[in-house]
Amino acid sequence: MSDPRRPGSLPALKLANRRRLLAVLQDGRAISQAELARLTGLAPATISSLVRTLSAEGELVVSEGIANGRRSRLVELSPQRRRYGIGIDLGRTHVRVVVGTEIGDVLAEATAALPDRHHADVAMDAITSLVDAVREQAGLEADQIMVVAMGVPAPVDAATGAVTEAAILPPWVGFPLRERLHDALGRPVVVENDADLGAIALARQTGIDDSLVFVKVASGIGAGVAINGQLLRGHSGAVGEIGHLALDPGLSMVCRCGRRGCLETVSSAESIRIALSSALDSDLELADVVRLVREGNPVAVRILDEAGEMLGRGLGWLAMIVNPAEIALGGPLLAVGDAWLRPVREGFRRAVLPGVAAQTRLTLSPLGERTVAVGALVASLREQIVMS
């Protein structure tokens, strides 16, 4: 008897083809069999056989329709087989949880504040409570959740789901995050870097099949890079840690990584809050920063301009290496819109070749502060197809 796990065996090949077909249908569209053959690279006869089998199992629905102006058999996922997942965005001072479908539709959402430098167990308690809350809001039973994915603001070992950089998120290094989440929630768990998940979300949202970068600017700064829909992780998962680019070693402020001149010491949302609090001799919250910028406070606008210009320079360094088609910004500074985007674009323009500046779209994430959580949702259900 052939072993279905052995690469090259007939059962293994059938399983791989099945996964490939289901993965293509995850965006919820009804697709013709001819188009499925093109998208998967499988022979039309193989597609026909798979569709018959999966339809009989209740996984797919086949209907008559029009595709490219011609009558066609259209194939889509059965509504009864719709997969639901949980996406978690863990920040240094917050956690956001969403529940939704494989195409990124959010059915319910909840957030909670976390104390700065919180212990991992504090976050775990908040996460499990929020997961139960959003699942109940969506009217779903626990066994309807297929998988959970979580984004963390630090490099992650993709094989183990462990945080790997003590200088960035020290309370979580050595913490068995994936195992603890699995034990608490009883579902398979995926752990990724938060900016990487943002890149996944935007690649799905925009349909860009070229290179795309998502930059999360919050307490720190991190970038996720997706090329043809696939994450670029690097050897140790540290691709995109641009917050620790030493753009100006002459700066006096010491970064939490121990060096001077790191980008996040001047361009993160937290560094802007600290700078404005010092300038106005007042202990401001980030919401106060947003309000003052919107009101046109000249000190707030000047500090944001300088921080944005420096961020643009850092993104210019990244663009000269990766050359992305689009760079999308995310994080709490989205709330001030063009007041932030304008100086970032100006700094970027000055840092790159004219052709790169002209051909790189620099935008605000259309998914807003949900970007990472939606990316986790999409990644969770994409991973579930692989594990099925």
pLDDT for the residue 1: 43
Tokens of 260: 């001077």
| SS3 call for 318 | helix
- CATH number for the domain harbouring residue 181: 3.30.420.40
Asked if residues 191 and 178 have their Cβ atoms less than 8 Å apart, the reply is yes
Strand, helix or coil for residue 237 = coil
Q: Is the pLDDT of residue 229 over 70?
A: yes
Q: How many residues does the chain have?
A: 388
Answer yes or no: is 2 within a domain. no
Helices vs strands, H then E, count in the chain: 13, 15
Sign of dihedral through CA atoms 314, 319, 321, 324?
Answer: positive
> Do 213 and 325 fall within a single domain?
yes
Q: For 23, how many CA atoms within 13 A lie in the half-sphere containing its CB?
A: 20
pLDDT value at 274 more than 90: yes
- In this structure, the answer to whether residues 278 and 318 fall within a common structural domain is yes
**Confidence class for position 2, pLDDT limits 50, 70, 90:** very low
Q: Return the higher-pLDDT residue of 382 and 182.
A: 182
The residue range of the domain holding 164 is 83-198+371-387
For 30-45, what is each residue's pLDDT tens digit? Answer: 899 999 999 899 999 9
pLDDT for position 258: 84
Q: Which of 73-82, 155-164, 353-362 has the highest mean pLDDT?
A: 353-362
Average pLDDT on 308-328 reads 95
The count of other CB atoms within 10 Å of the CB of residue 281 is: 6
| Within-domain flag for 27 | yes
User: Is the predicted pLDDT of residue 289 greater than 60, yes or no?
Assistant: yes
pLDDT reported for residue 383: 56
Is 324 within the bounds of a domain?
yes
Is the same domain home to 187 and 235? no
- Please check whether residues 54 and 65 belong to one and the same domain: yes
End-to-end, the C-alpha distance of the chain in Å comes to 22
What confidence tier does 278 reach under pLDDT thresholds 50, 70, 90? very high
Q: Same structural domain for residues 138 and 212?
A: no
Q: Any idea what the CATH number is for the domain that residue 25 is in? A: 1.10.10.10
Whole-number average pLDDT of the chain: 87
Q: Is the pLDDT of residue 122 over 60?
A: yes
